[in-house]
Amino acid sequence: MMDISFDMVRRLMNEEHDFSSEHKVETFYVVGDEEFLPIKENSLDLVISCLGLHWTNDLLGAMIQCRLALKPDDLFIAAILGGETLKELRIACTIAQLEREGGISPRLSPLAQVNIFQQFTILFTKTITKPQSKLFYPH
């Protein structure tokens, strides 16, 4: 488990202790930044990132570091907002701000583009990517 916040890592250690001891899962806790992984190459069996990579400035570089930290043929799973995600929300925020303030400013961080995943896939051919999924919720 890795987080940039020491307090969050400590909280994870306390909450995950029961699960790890019950299921015999070897877990390491690291305070670190996704852009500069403090993990040596070929040392991990699994890397999972659920929206953590979304905040990196160099997404491709961070993904490459994650892949290099894995042992050969092991698994890297990442969920990242990208492309046209939240398009309707971005449009609604833009229109509302234009009407109220006469101008706009960014309300959402930049989203990853599909070509980043294509570059990553070319570098590591065993990677599986699904760049876009649409979910619909009834109102």
Name beta bridge partners: 47: 76
Query: Is 66 a member of any domain?
Result: yes
Q: Give the whole-angstrom CA distance, residue 58 versus residue 35.
A: 7
Q: Which domain, by its residues, includes 54? A: 33-123
Is residue 95 one of the residues assigned to a domain?
A: yes
Q: What is the pLDDT of residue 127?
A: 47
Task: With respect to residue 67, please indicate whether it lies within any of the assigned structural domains.
Answer: yes
Residues 48-78 pLDDT 10s = 888 888 778 888 888 888 888 999 888 888 8
Tokens at residue 46, please?
């699994």
CA–CA distance, 63 with 30 (Å, rounded to integer): 18
The residue that leads in pLDDT, 101 or 81, is 101
Lowest-confidence range among 51-55, 90-94, 105-109, 125-129?
A: 125-129
User: pTM for this one?
Assistant: 0.64
In-domain check, residue 13: no
pLDDT of residue 104: 84
Residue 21 lies in a domain: no
17, part of any domain: no
Total of domains in the chain: 1
The tokens describing 120, both together, are: 């990553």
Assigned domain for 1 exists: no
Residue 133 is assigned to a structural domain of this protein: no
